[in-house]
Amino acid sequence: MKSKEKKRNKLSETFLIIKSFGSFLLRHHPECENFKGHAIKFRKYEFCIGCFIGYPTSFISIIILGVFKLNESIPSNYLINFGILFMSTFFLSFTRVTKIKTIKIIQKIFIGFGSALIFWGIFSLNFPFFTNFIIFFLVFSAILTFLNIYHAYGLYNTCKKCESQFKWGQCSGFEAIRNKLKKYDLPNLIVDIEFRSKSKKEK
């Protein structure tokens, strides 16, 4: 009985921790002024523009192009070239243009649609399926690695300029999470993360 109760308490605690971090799991950015341009609000929730606009656009476009067999009627080199053209809107991120949220959203739609065109362009090449799959895997691994490095650097650079620079226990962007952890009488994991990062630096 005790082990069952312990397991139930552990599950309950895990659920409350996930609930506490809920907003961050959707926005993927701290809730502060510096990152307000990275999220889009829908009712009472805020979502990461890149993940909740870009990825769904890509998956939906892949399905639509496949269902209507447009990948069979358009030559693969056209699909790849236009895909690269749409995806090249990523480089707008190096300008101040994407500070405008509407442009940022359109950019993510273009990137998502471009990736779908490249996907079908690769799988329409006159090579065996396995060869096309290897090409797809290598190309998209490179794209995702580059995008993730860029976004990680962006987060680092923004936090570096902040007055509470990497002090997660004091950062206003994590205040809502800290309050929820306190409300549910859970360990302050934000402070723990800060402590661990400090320990690593000292070593």
User: Where residue 6 falls among pLDDT bands split at 50, 70, 90?
Assistant: low
pTM equals 0.81
User: pLDDT tens digit string along 122-146?
Assistant: 999 999 999 999 999 999 999 999 9
Residue 198 has pLDDT above 80, yes or no: no
User: pLDDT tens digit string along 12-64?
Assistant: 888 898 888 888 888 888 888 888 888 888 888 889 998 899 999 999 999 99
d(CA 45, CA 26): 8
Q: Higher confidence at residue 201 or residue 177? A: 177
What per-residue confidence (pLDDT) applies to 138? 98
